[in-house]
A and B are shown apart, each in its own frame.
Chain A
Amino acid sequence: MADIATKERSRPKAAPSPWKQKRPKKPGTGVASLNGKWGYLFVAPFIGMFLIFGLFPVAYSTKLAFYKYDPLSLDQAWSWVGLQNFKDILADETFWISLGNTFEIWALSTFPQMILAIGFAAILRNRFLRGKTFWRTILLVPNITSVIAVAIIFGQLFGRDYGMINSVIGFFGFPHIDFVENSFASHVAVAAMITWRWVGYNSLIFLASMLAIPDDLYESASLDGAGAWKQFRYVTLPGLRNTITFVLIVGTIGGLQVYAEPLTLAGTNDGGSSHQLSTLTMYLFNESFINIRYGHGAAIGILITIIVLIISLINFIVTRRVASEDKK
C-alpha cells in the first residue's frame, strides 16, 4: 500500500504535463501557443465538413460545368466541351420559362406574405391580447410541418374538380380554375403554400423588431394626436425598415430554391405540360438527374449563383440607400 502511495505521489514528477512544464519556462507565450496550435484542432471539425460538403462539391461542379460527363461510360467518362453547356442552357426555352416562373412565384409569395406578417405582428403586439404565447405558437406551427405534407394537402385543396377551393368557386357559379395546367393559377397555388408556411415565422421576426421600438415613441405620437393607423404608419413601419430588408433578402434566397411545392403540385419532374410549374431548381434537377446531363446541371447551378450575386448586389445598393436616408 505504501508503495502505491509513494508511486502515485511521485507520478507528477515522473510524467509532468507538457503545459505545466512549458508555462514556467516561457511565461507569456503559453496561452498564445495554445491558441496557435490547439485552435486548429477546435475548428477542424468545421473545416473538415466544409471541405468535404462545401468546397469540394463547388469545385467539382465548376469543373463539371465545362465537361460532358457520362458517369456510366467505361472508357471516356469526361470530355471537355468548353462553354457548350452554358450555350445549351441559354438557348433552352425551358430555362427562361423556369426563370420567369421562379420570379413570379417569388413575387406572389413574398409581398402578400410580408403584408400579412406585419399585420399579424401588429395584432400580436397588442397589449390587451390574451393568450399571447398560444397565438405565437399557433403561428409557427405551419413552419414545422413537412413541405411534402403541406404540398399534398394543398394539392387536394386546389384540385380542379373536387378541390375545396373550386367547390366554393363553383358554388358562386364561376367556372372551375385548373390550378395545375393554368400557368398563373398554378403559381398562385404554390405561392399560397409558401405563404402559409412562412408567414408565421416572419410574423415573429417582425414582432421581435416591433417590441424593440420604444414605447415613448408611441406615447408621444398619441399625445400629438396620432391614431392607431398613423402610429403604425409613422412609428412602426420606419422602425421595421431594417427587418423588412432582412426578410426580403432571406425570402429571395428561399424563393430561388423553391422545389418541393411545385414538384408535388405538377406531379412531374419537368413541371407540367408546358413547364408552367418548373422552377430553376426543378430545371436543374431535371436536367442532371432525369435527363442525365450532369454538365448541364452544373452549368445551371453556376447560372443560379450568378443570379443570386446580381440580386445580392441590388439588395446591397438598396440597403445602402435606405441607410443613408436614415441618416438624413
Chain B
Amino acid sequence: MSKKKFNRAVAAAALIATVGSGLLLATPARATATPVTLTIWTFGDVIEPAMLRAYKVIHPEVTIALKKADLDPSMTNLTTSCAAYVQSHRVGSPPDIAAVEVSYSGYWRAYPQCFTDLRTLNTSSANAAAQSLVASSSNIAAGLNATDIKPNYLPWRWEQGVGYNDSVLGLPTDVGGLEVAYRSDLFKKAGLPTDRAKVSALWPTWDKFIATGKKYMTKVSAADKKKGIGFIDNVGTIYAASMNQGTYKYYKNNGTDAGQLLYKVKGKMPVYDAKTKKQKIDPKTKKPMFTTGWILNPNITKAWDYTIKANDAGIGTRIGQYTSDWNVGMTKGTFATILAPAWMMDYIKGQAPTTKGKWDIADLPGGGGNQGGTQLTIPAWSANKQAAWDFMNWYLAPQQQLTVFKTYGLFPSTKSIYNDPALVNYKDPFFNNAPVGKIYLTGIQKLKPIFEGKLERAIDQAIGAGLGRVAAKKQTSLQSQIQVLVDLDKATK
C-alpha cells in the first residue's frame, strides 16, 4: 500500500468514524430504542398523568403503566412482590418504580434487599439526546448517579430516602409543607383579623391557636354549634402537625436498622388493669399506682396534650378528612381553618370552587411544618432499572417539578429552584392572591430531618385511634392512653 493510498484510507476511515459517531450522537435514542414498559405503583397523586404524556413524546419507546392503590394496600403489594423476590429469587415482576410514603420509610429501610441502591445506577444518554426534541424539558446529562444529583434536593427530604449504610433507596418527590388555610370571610364575621400577617401573628404557638379557636367559637350561635360548626376541621390533625415539628418521633436513631423504640422507657404512666382498663390501686397505700411508661418523647406528649386541649375546647368539627362531610363542609363554611400541605390547595379548589377568593394562607403555629412525603424507589427485582432511573431523573428534575408545581400545586423537593422567580413570586388568586410560593418556602426551610422508625405507621394509627376515642367521647384522655399502651404492646411485640 502506497503512502497516498494509506492516507486516503485513513481519511476515509476518519470520515466514516466522524459521520458515524455524529449520526449516533444525533439519534442515539432511536439507535438504542428498544421498547420498554415501565410499571409504576403509586397512591394518591404522586405521579401526574399529564407529565407522563410529555415523557411519551420525548420517549416513544417507553410505555408507562401507572397502577394506583390506597397507601396501605400499595405497601402490602410491595411486600408481597418483594417476598417473591427474596424467597424465590423471581426477577422481572412489577413494579419497576414504587412510591414509598415517608411513614413506611423506616419499615422499608429495615429491608434494603428489596431495593436498588440508586448510587449504583447511572443515567444513560437517552434524556440528553431527547432534550433537543422538547424545549421546556431540562437537560439530564448522561452518567449521573444518586450522589451526583443529591445537591439538587432539599437535604431533610433527601435523607428520608437514605438507608443506614448510606445507600440511597429513593428519590424525594414533592414536599408537603404545612400551613394554615383559613376562610377570611368567616374570620371577619367572627371579629378576627383577616390580613394574613395579622392572622399569623394571632398564633405563634399552638396554645394561642387554640385560644383563637375559642374566641371564634364564642361568636358561633348555639344553633350553629349544634349543627356542628367549628373552628378547625379536625383537631386530630394538630397531633401530626405538632409532632412533626420535633426532630424525632417514636424512635431514636441509634445506628441500627430499626432504631430504638422510645416506648415504656421512662415517664409517668398509670398502672392499668388489662381487663377493667382502670388504674390499679396500690393495696397497701390505697393510692393510684404509677409506673414508667408512655413514649419517652416530650414532643409526643406535648402533641397529644395540644390535641386533647383543642378537643376539650370544642373548637373542632370532628369531621374526618377526605369524607363526604368534609367536602361539603368546605363549601358550607362548617370550619374556618384547615392545616393544609401545599398539595391540599388543589384539593380545596376542586371540592369548593365557589369559595374562590375567600381562602387565605397563614403560618403554621409553632414554626415550620410538614405532612407526609414520598420517595420513588426502584425495587431490586425490576428488569428495567436503567429505563426506570432515566425516567425518575427526568420526572424529578427541577424543571419538571416546577411545571408540576404550577399545574398541580405540588411543592418541589429540589432546592436548586427555590430562588426561581416563578416559584418565589407565585401567587394564587383562589387563596386571595396569597404569595403561596414564599409562604411554603419559608415553612419547609425551617424543618430538620426527622428520624423515621420501623413500625411508625402502626404506632401512628394506634395513637390516632386513641385520639379518635377521646374525640368521640368514648374514653377520657387517660383511659385512651392506657388503651394505646395495650395496642402498642401488641403492635411492637
Contact = CB atoms under 8 A, between A and B. Distances in A.
A268 B461 contact: yes
B334 A72 contact: no
Contacts of B323: 155, 159, 267
Given A72-B111, A272-B468, A290-B76, A161 B325 contact: yes
B313 interface: no
B308 to A, nearest CB: 14
Interface string A147-163: 00000000110011111
B161 interface: no
B119 interface: no
Interface stretch (B61-69, B79-87, B280-288, B419-427): B79-87
A292 B72 contact: no
Given A71-B86, A268-B461, A274 B325 contact: no
A300 to B, nearest CB: 14
Given A156-B324, A181-B472, A269 B72 contact: yes
Chain B interface main SS type? helix
B491 interface: yes
A104 interface: no
Contacts of B493: 88
A108 B465 CA distance: 26
Contacts of A161: 227-228, 317, 319, 325, 328-329, 334
A181 B324 contact: no
A73 B323 CA distance: 38
B324 A155 contact: yes
Contacts of A156: 324
B392 interface: no
A163 B323 CA distance: 11
Contacts of B378: none
Contacts of B111: 72
A269 B461 CA distance: 10
Which has the most chain B C-beta neighbours within 10 Å: A71, A74, A155, A273? A273
A73 B86 contact: yes
Contacts of A270: 461, 465
Nearest to A291: B458
A273 B334 contact: no
A181 B468 contact: yes
B86 A74 contact: yes
Interface residues of B, number: 39
A108 B327 CA distance: 30
Contacts of B461: 268, 270
Given A161-B227, A161-B228, A291-B491, A72 B465 contact: no
A156 B458 CA distance: 28
A181 B474 contact: yes
A178 B323 CA distance: 13
A176 interface: yes
Interface string A65-105: 00000011110010000000000100011000000000000
Contacts of A163: 324-325
Nearest to B80: A71
A255 to B, nearest CB: 24
Contacts of A181: 468, 472, 474
A4 B226 CA distance: 97
Given A72-B79, A290-B72, A159 B86 contact: no
A262 to B, nearest CB: 15
Interface in B87-145: 87, 111, 113-114
B215 interface: no
Contacts of A290: 72, 76, 458
Which has the most chain B C-beta neighbours within 10 Å: A71, A175, A269? A71
A164 to B, nearest CB: 11
A267 B320 contact: yes
A274 B486 CA distance: 12
B114 A72 contact: yes
Given A162-B328, A274-B474, A72 B469 contact: no
B317 A273 contact: no
Chain A interface main SS type? loop
Which has the most chain A C-beta neighbours within 10 Å: B72, B319, B486, B490? B490
A160 B325 CA distance: 7
A234 interface: no
Given A161-B317, A162-B324, A269-B72, A72 B468 contact: no
B490 to A, nearest CB: 7
A77 B87 contact: yes
A289 interface: yes
Contact of B468 (A73, A77, A175, A273): A273
A162 B86 contact: no
Nearest to B70: A269
Contacts of A272: 465, 468
Interface string B344-376: 000000000000000000000000000000000
Given A71-B83, A72-B82, A92-B490, A162 B472 contact: no
A163 B114 CA distance: 44
Nearest to B319: A161
Contacts of A160: 228, 318-319, 325
B113 A72 contact: yes
Interface in A298-322: none
A107 B465 CA distance: 27
A268 B465 CA distance: 10
A325 to B, nearest CB: 44
Nearest to B84: A71
Contacts of B466: 273
Contacts of B317: 161
Contact of A159 (B80, B82, B113, B324): B324
Interface in B309-337: 317-320, 323-325, 328-329, 332, 334
Interface string A267-290: 111101110000000000000011
A98 to B, nearest CB: 14
B454 to A, nearest CB: 11
A272 B320 CA distance: 11
A92 B487 CA distance: 10
Contacts of A269: 72
Nearest to A158: B324
Nearest to B324: A156
B336 to A, nearest CB: 15
Interface in B446-493: 458, 461, 464-466, 468-469, 472, 474, 486, 490-491, 493
A158 B83 CA distance: 40
B335 to A, nearest CB: 11
Nearest to B228: A161
Contacts of B82: 71-72
Given A92-B490, A274-B474, A71 B87 contact: yes
A61 to B, nearest CB: 15
A268 B320 CA distance: 11
Nearest to A93: B486
Nearest to A160: B325
A64 B490 CA distance: 20
Given A72-B79, A180-B320, A290-B72, 13 more contacts: A71-B80, A72-B86, A88-B493, A92-B490, A161-B317, A161-B329, A162-B324, A181-B472, A268-B461, A269-B72, A289-B79, A290-B76, A292-B79
6 contacts: A71-B87, A161-B228, A162-B324, A162-B332, A273-B464, A291-B491
Question: What 8 pairs across the A-B complex have the smallest Cβ distances?
Answer: A273-B468, A71-B83, A181-B472, A289-B76, A273-B465, A156-B324, A162-B328, A72-B111
